[in-house]
Amino acid sequence: MIAGWFAGDGDGFRLLGTRCSACASVFFPREDVFCRNPGCPGGDLVEVPLSRRGRVWSYTDSRYRPPSPHVTDPELSWEPRALIAVELESERIVVLGQAVPGVSTADLAVGMEVEVVQGVLNEDEETTWTTWHWRPAEVTV
Amino acid sequence: MRGDVAVLGAGMHPWGKWGHGFVPYGVAAARAALADAGVDWRDVDSVVGADTVRGGYPGHVAGATFARALGWQGARVTSVYAACASGAQAVGAARAQILSGLADLVLVVGADAAPKGFFRPAGGDRPDDPDWLRFRVLGATNPTYFGLYARRRMAVHGDTLEDFAQVKVKNAACGALNPNARYRARVTAEEVAGSAVVADPLRLLDICATSDGGAALVLSSMEFARRHGAADPVRIRAVSTVTPRYPSTVLDLPDIATDSAVAVEPAPDTFRASIARAAYEEAGIAPEDLSLAEVYDLSTALELQWYEDLGLCAEGEAAKLLREGATALGGRIPVNASGGLASFGEAVPAQAIAQVCELTWQLRGRAGDRQVEGARVGITANQGLFGHGSSVVAVR
């Protein structure tokens, strides 16, 4: 469904974007056809991993079940999911994503450091759709 | 291309949930606008329809649908789709035809019958569509974006939930005075605070509903207006319809990420601010000249953002402007005297036209109990998905 947006496992999990070889602009979701910088003559677009950590630009949640094409199990009661917009410093880009399950808006603050981790979007008997989640970064020594 | 066009007529179908298709709303609004202008439909040179996708596509295209319902009479026909900015782009298309001499008398119509609940993309698997992707991958509804903006304002500018609630209180007080509004009851801050959270920190009464409704305008050249006996009509002086500039660094519907600013420094103006600035430049006016403004209050917090983007106050000062009462009826610069989307709800192709209807009635001095005293200059501001944004300046 969203081939090539992320790769890797565990600590190696990264969002993947593309970078224009002429002007260095970064794109996420990946832009594989045209560099969108209007002043750029257009270069090859090369896949690049994005920074693993960033800071919360803003956050919210969805207290009501989102409509299709979002896939949810109507048999289960709806649990609100936090959504976090994260500023990646070196790419100077803001990327929206779901928070890891269990993190609510009460756990978040603008400016807080978060990191990207692999998560499950939804699954049925045959397929598990993976995605990226943002998780508040643990304190590291 | 510069120059004024005359607003000869304005009309609406009252907004609500009426249970009809979109065509009767548009036709009722069109007939009201034609009657207001005192012109016969058969004399209209050109009809411009703001498209409704939900009610229409595929099968109905607005310009022709309204023309057929009013009775085919051979007019030039145009249909415009620009999401929430469709109505303003329809006004822009009509104005361009008049100023270029292609048409003297133009009917602009928009109407919709909105579904209940969240707006959502059309069906099917469409992973090349950013609007489809944000729902599929993130479950990100329109209110979640409004929630992001609201929380950001709280963090950066210190806005409070009480400030947001007071926007609803103000707009509901105006809507109570407007017979075309869907919601005509006053609302208290306690009622806002007591409504369910939809997208943290915004509550049900912070977010506009979806509605059925229709709005229409009859526009003409100034020469036609004079011949028609309208010596001093309301005039449209500017219609800005600008795109963002790369890199657009404020996360916007329906995008999952912003542009990166790594290669190009962002322009000092955000996209929303550039919409208003283009209109001011085209009209040759400044924010200080305004008597009133009609803005897209998709959420209460977003109305505050528009105060800053329109230059009504400095960045971060919107809540202060609200608290001073400047944007209420009777204040220095009333915003959403109509009651705004808070009182109307969204009928997408109609709402930007409805904003111009309100300016027209206000500038004529015929807005009844919600009249802004001595109104001479008004601006509208709206924004649609996929980088559409428009502002209309009307003067008297």
**pLDDT 10s digits, B350-388:** 999 999 999 999 999 999 999 999 999 999 999 988 889
Q: What residues of chain B lie within 8 A of the CB of A21, using their CB?
A: none
Q: Which residue of A has its CA nearest to B125?
A: A69
Residue type, B88: A
DSSP character for B43?
G
- Measured between CB atoms, which of A25, A72, A95 is closest to B263? A25
CB contacts, 8 Å: B244 with chain A:
none
Q: What are the residues facing B388 on neighbouring strands?
A: B384
Beta bridge partners of A20: A45
Q: DSSP labels for B260-322? A: P-SSSPPPSS-HHHHHHHHHHHHHT--GGG-SEEEE--SBHHHHHHHHHHTTSS-TT-HHHHH
- Distance separating alpha carbons of residues B38 and B40, to the nearest angstrom: 7
ipTM value: 0.96
Instruction: Kindly state the average pLDDT of the residues A89-115.
Output: 97
Please give the share of chain B, as a percent, with pLDDT higher than 70: 98
Query: Above 60 in pLDDT, residue B56?
Result: no
Q: At a CB cut-off of 8 Å and minimum separation 6, what does A130 contact?
A: A6, A118, A119, A120, A121
Q: What is the pLDDT of residues B11-34, one digit of tens each?
A: 999 999 999 999 999 999 999 999
- Angle B250-A114-A24 from CA coordinates, rounded to 5°: 50
Q: What is the mean pLDDT of residues B330-343?
A: 98
- For residue A1, the model assigns a pLDDT of 59
CA angle B171, B350, B117 (to 5 degrees): 70
Is the preceding omega at residue A136 within 30 degrees of 0, hence cis?
A: no
Q: Which residues of B touch A39 (CB under 8 A)?
A: 264
Name the nearest CA neighbour of B241 among B30, B96, B71, B377.
Answer: B96
CB-CB under 8 Å, B117 with A70: no
Q: Given an 8 Å threshold on Cβ–Cβ distance, is A58 in contact with B151?
A: yes
CA distance A44 to chain B (A): 15
Q: Please state the pTM of the whole predicted model.
A: 0.96
Question: Cβ of A67 and B257 within 8 Å?
Answer: no
pLDDT at B8 over 70: yes
Pairs of CB atoms within 8 A across A/B: 152
Predicted local confidence at residue B289, as pLDDT: 98
- Given phi > 0 = left and psi -120 to 50 = alpha, else beta, which region is A108? beta
Taking the CA atoms of chain A, what radius of gyration do you get in angstroms? Answer: 16
What's the confidence (pLDDT) of residue B356?
Answer: 98
Q: Are B354 and B55 in contact (CB under 8 A)?
A: no
**pLDDT of amino acid B279:** 97
**Dihedral sign, CA of A98, A102, A105, A107?**
negative
Output the pLDDT for position B55.
Answer: 55
Mean pLDDT of the region B270-282: 97
Interchain CB distance below 8 Å, B121 and A69: yes
Give the per-residue pLDDT at B120: 85
φ and ψ at residue A24, rounded to 5 degrees: 75, 5
What is the per-residue pLDDT for B290?
98
Q: Which amino acid is at A112?
A: M
The arithmetic mean of pLDDT across residues B131-146, rounded, is 95
Residues of B in contact with A83 (CB under 8 A): 138-140, 144, 147-148
Q: Do A37 and B155 touch (CB under 8 A)?
A: no
3-state secondary structure string across chain A: CCCCCEECCHHHCEEEEEEECCCCCEECCCCCCCCCCCCCCCCCEEEEECCCEEEEEEEEEECCCCCCCCCCCCCCCCCCEEEEEEEECCCCEEEEEEECCCCCHHHCCCCCEEEEEEEEEEECCCCEEEEEEEEECCCCC
Residue in chain B closest to A97 (alpha carbons) equals: B138
pLDDT at B4: 97
Name chain B contacts of A69, Cβ cutoff 8 Å: 120-121, 123, 125, 132, 135-136
Instruction: Give A138 to chain B, closest Cα distance, Å.
Output: 22
Taking contacts as CB-CB distances below 8 angstroms, the residues of chain A near B247 are: 25, 37, 92
Closest alpha carbon within chain B to A104: B200
Residue B59 confidence class, pLDDT cut points 50, 70, 90? low
How far A141 CA lies from chain B's nearest CA (Å)?
28
Query: Rounded to whole angstroms, how far apart are CA atoms B316 and B207?
Result: 21
> What's the mean per-residue pLDDT of chain B?
95
Q: How far is B258 from chain A (nearest CA, A)?
A: 5
User: Is residue A141 pLDDT above 50, yes or no?
Assistant: no
Name which of B144, B196, B251 is nearest A94 (Cβ-Cβ): B251
Q: Do A39 and B151 touch (CB under 8 A)?
A: no
| pLDDT for B315 | 97
Residue with tokens 């944007």: B327
d(CA B262, CA B277): 26
Residue in B150, B257, B264 nearest the CB of A39: B264
Q: What is the pLDDT of residues B150-191, one digit of tens each?
A: 999 999 999 999 999 999 999 999 999 999 999 999 999 999
Q: How far apart are CA B142 and CA B252, in angstroms?
A: 10
A83 and B260 within 8 Å at the Cβ level: the answer is no
Q: Please name the residue that has the structure tokens 């949640």.
A: A61
Tens-digit pLDDT profile for residues B210-262: 999 999 999 999 999 999 999 999 999 999 999 999 999 999 999 999 999 99
Q: Give the residue among B233, B184, B177, B182 at the shortest CA–CA distance from B367.
A: B177
